[in-house]
Chains A and B, each alone.
Chain A
Amino acid sequence: MHLTGKFCNTEGVDTPAVKGADGLLGEVERAEAALRAAADRAGAGSFEAVIEADQKIEPRDVMPEDYRKGLIRQIAQHAHSEIIGMQPEGNWITRAPSLRRKAILLAKVQDEAGHGLYLYAAAETLGVTREELTEALLSGRQKYSSIFNYPTLTWADMGAIGWLVDGAAIVNQVPLCRCSYGPYARAMIRICKEESFHQRQGYQSLYVLANGSPEQRRMAQDAVNRWWYPSLAMFGPPDSESTHSAQSMAWKIKRFSNDELRQRFVDMCVPQADILGLTLPDPDLKWNEQRGHYDFTPPDFDELMRVVKGDGPCNRQRMAHRRRAHDEGAWVREAAAAYAAKGKTA
């Protein structure tokens, strides 16, 4: 077994030159080093100069209102996704096939809760309150990633989600470690370091199933069949229809286009699927010598839009669950507040 730092990786995401050197964590570390290097350069001054110099904007800096608003929207949506994202996997914690798998799944879902909290805190540095953010999620005014509106039908879905859904999330998130907004970039560095176990445990779990009984194998293949296209859709609409991209790139919030990241993900997954001995459900998937990439069938973007608008298989269930969990936790928050108030007067 080689565990030589080849963690779930988006190697080459930002620095194609170091191809093969290491993995996700290597890329995250390079982002962290770049952040420090930029910090060491002389102070830049105006907002534009800071962005230009690849330095970080910090909470009390002057920034364009659209930069602030756009970041709040993006970070909030990201945070909501981590929170709602606990549900599809949470669904299987009590039914995990062994204590070991249960402990692993529990640890992963706990991590996602943590990621939601890091991100809410980063959004709050931009002048929005936690109450406003919670309200925006519960009222449906702000969205979360549509991937979490798909159901988890079998245990193999836990493997497929770790491999594909966390894998796609990582490809999206590693470049965000270099985002121009300091608190977001630092939160993403922390998150990406933790994500490295999510994808691995999923892949390893799927590998065990794929090499198990014929029934387990079928279950693994079925899970991959169902999660492949929704995972591709996680990168968002095609570049030709992406609305926020250009400004986001100019402000160095986003570093790569949706289609670039999607391609990167496909190129990583194909050899991984081979080793699993599973097939990706795309008859047109093939290596294109000329492009140096795999050709593939894009996801159904009309379906993506329908799911985003609320018409996916589990939208209503996910929102109802979140609202119920919030309401049922009210007495805990009230009791804690009452206890704290008592402490102050005593």
Chain B
Amino acid sequence: MNEPLWEVFVRPRRGLSHTHVGSLHAPDARMALRHARDLYTRRQEGVSIWVVPASEITASSPDEKDSFFDPAGDKIYRHPTFYELPEGVEHL
């Protein structure tokens, strides 16, 4: 039995976005949803579930972590704290 792997995302409560909780094996999307319900929401951990074939997920490579995220490293001017403001200015 070589069932595909599915990544499971659960929306914990209304108003929050779906977050990754884990994965499971299932023959198809419908079964993956049912399994995900039984596996990850037995205590009402969620109000909505997404299952995504793990093979459909493209991930950044851990080896490239440094060079991949490097470009943002020296751009401290993207943060508001980079800008010194005159004494006394408010609401800014």
Measuring CB to CB, which residues of chain A are less than 8 angstroms from any residue of chain B? 1-3, 6-11, 23, 25, 35-36, 38-40, 43-44, 50, 55-56, 58, 60, 100, 103-104, 107, 111, 182, 185-186, 196-197, 199-201, 203-204, 207, 268, 271-272, 275
A-side contacts of B77, CB under 8 Å: 100, 103-104, 107, 197, 201
| B interface residues, Cβ below 8 angstroms from A | 11-17, 47-48, 75, 77-92
Question: Across the interface, do B48 and A58 meet the contact criterion of CB distance under 8 Å?
Answer: yes
Whether the pair A23, B92 counts as a contact (CB closer than 8 A) is yes
Q: Give the chain A neighbours of B86 by CB distance below 8 A.
A: 207, 275
Cβ-defined partner of A39 (8 Å) among B12, B75, B82, B84:
B12
Q: A107's contact among B12, B13, B78, B92, by CB below 8 Å, is which? A: B78
B interface SS class = loop
Q: Is the CB of B78 within 8 A of A56?
A: no
**Which of A40, A55, A58 gathers the greatest number of chain B CB atoms within 10 Å?**
A58
Report which of A10, A182, A204 forms a contact with B15, defined as CB distance below 8 A. Answer: A182
Q: Which residues of A contact B47 (CB under 8 A)?
A: 43
A56→B15 contact, CB < 8 A:
yes
User: Are B14 and A23 in contact, CB atoms less than 8 angstroms apart?
Assistant: no
The reply to whether A11 and B91 contact each other, CB–CB distance below 8 Å, is: yes
A197 and B82 form a contact (CB under 8 A): yes
User: Are A200 and B83 interface neighbours, CB within 8 A?
Assistant: yes
CB–CB B81/A3 < 8 A:
yes
Smallest Cβ distance from A255 to chain B, in angstroms? 16
Other-chain contact of A1, B80, B87, B91 (Cβ < 8 Å): B87
Main secondary structure of the interface of A (DSSP, over half): helix
In the complex, A204 Cα to B79 Cα: how many Å? 13
Given contacts A58-B11, A103-B75, A197-B82, contact A203 B16 (CB under 8 A): no
Q: Is the CB of A196 within 8 A of B89?
A: no
Whether A203 lies near B92 (C-beta < 8 A) is yes
Question: What residues on B are CB-neighbors of A111 within 8 Å?
Answer: 78
Which of B17, B79, B80 has its CB near the most chain A CB atoms (within 10 A)? B80
Q: Known contacts A39-B12, A39-B14: does B75 contact A8 (CB below 8 Å)?
A: no
In the assembled complex, the CB of A142 is this many whole angstroms from the nearest CB of chain B, namely 26
Q: List 29 A-B contacts (CB under 8 A).
A: A1-B84, A1-B85, A2-B87, A3-B81, A6-B91, A7-B92, A8-B80, A8-B91, A8-B92, A25-B80, A35-B16, A36-B15, A39-B13, A43-B14, A44-B14, A55-B14, A55-B15, A58-B14, A103-B77, A104-B77, A107-B77, A186-B17, A199-B92, A200-B92, A203-B85, A207-B86, A271-B91, A275-B88, A275-B89
- Given contacts A103-B75, A197-B83, are A9 and B16 in contact (CB under 8 A)? no
Q: Which residues of B contact A58 (CB under 8 A)?
A: 11, 14-15, 48
Q: Which residues of B contact A272 (CB under 8 A)?
A: 89-92
18 further A-B pairs in the complex, CB-CB below 8 A; given A9-B91, A39-B16, A268-B91: A1-B85, A3-B85, A6-B91, A6-B92, A8-B91, A10-B91, A11-B91, A36-B16, A38-B15, A39-B12, A39-B13, A39-B15, A43-B47, A103-B77, A104-B77, A182-B14, A272-B89, A272-B91
Report Cα–Cα, A204/B91, bound state, in Å.
Answer: 14
In the assembled complex, the CB of B20 is this many whole angstroms from the nearest CB of chain A, namely 16
Determine how close the nearest CB of chain B comes to the CB of A223; give it in whole angstroms.
17
State the CA gap A2–B92 with chains docked (Å): 11
